[in-house]
Amino acid sequence: MINMQKRMKSKNNWRHWAKFEKLAFVTLIFLLLQHSMNSQEDAPPSFDFTYDHYSLIVKDLEKTGTFYKDILRLKEIPHPSATSGFRWFIINGNSQLHLIGKDSVAMKHSKSVHLCLATQKLDEFVAYLTEKEVPYSDWPGKPNAITLRADGVRQIYVQDPENNWIEINTAKH
């Protein structure tokens, strides 16, 4: 009889605990939703930006444009109004690269300032660069090496004919 009473008391405690647990969970969800709504009300609205293009000023528009067309295999598109002085390329979707030809370009070429393109075919691209004798390096600058970032992304760096840096990596988007 005592065992039966202990079991009944244990079941009642369990039911009580289960009700408390449900109430605590519902309260927690309510508080999180309320906080989330308050945070959204306080935040200014987003402008919903999308990436459009990256521009590079170059001296030799023909040679540099040919690099992007033939080596990186970007599709060239016409400039909407100018017939000379520009070469435009599609990167993916609506993202573009704009080359702007200028007679004098005063620029220091830091690797930290670069165009970055992502591909899941990095090994094929490295083989292609090797075939075309286009030098590449890892982030520290070791020739023919690939950097493995802490997040698992592999990356290399190449330079166009005017020494602008281009990172090619395996980031998934």
Rounded Cα distance, 30 and 107, in Å: 55
> Do the Cβ atoms of 111 and 164 come closer than 8 Å?
no
DSSP H or E stretch at residue 35: helix 2-42
Better pLDDT: 164 or 16: 164
pLDDT > 50? residue 17:
no
- Report, as an integer, the average pLDDT of 46-64: 85
Q: Rounded to the nearest 10 degrees, how much is the dihedral formed by the CA atoms of 121, 127, 131, 132?
A: 50
Average pLDDT over the chain, rounded to whole? 82
> Do the Cβ atoms of 168 and 158 come closer than 8 Å?
yes
> Do the Cβ atoms of 125 and 134 come closer than 8 Å?
no
Strand partners, 96: 53, 90
Q: In what order do the strands lie in the sheet with 86-92?
A: 53-58, 95-101, 86-92, 75-77
Q: What is the pLDDT of residues 56-107, one digit of tens each?
A: 989 999 999 999 999 999 999 998 887 789 999 999 888 999 999 988 867 7
- Report, as an integer, the average pLDDT of 129-158: 95
- Report, as an integer, the average pLDDT of 14-41: 56
Angle at CA 171, nearest 5°, toward 70 and 47?
95
Using 50, 70 and 90 to split pLDDT, how confident is the model at 118?
Answer: very high
Rounded Cα distance, 66 and 74, in Å: 10
Quick count: other Cβ atoms within 10 Å of Cβ 144? 12
The whole-number pLDDT of residue 139 equals: 92
Token pair belonging to 16: 């009580």
CATH fold group of domain 53-169: 2,3-Dihydroxybiphenyl 1,2-Dioxygenase; domain 1 (3.10.180)
Better pLDDT: 49 or 24: 49
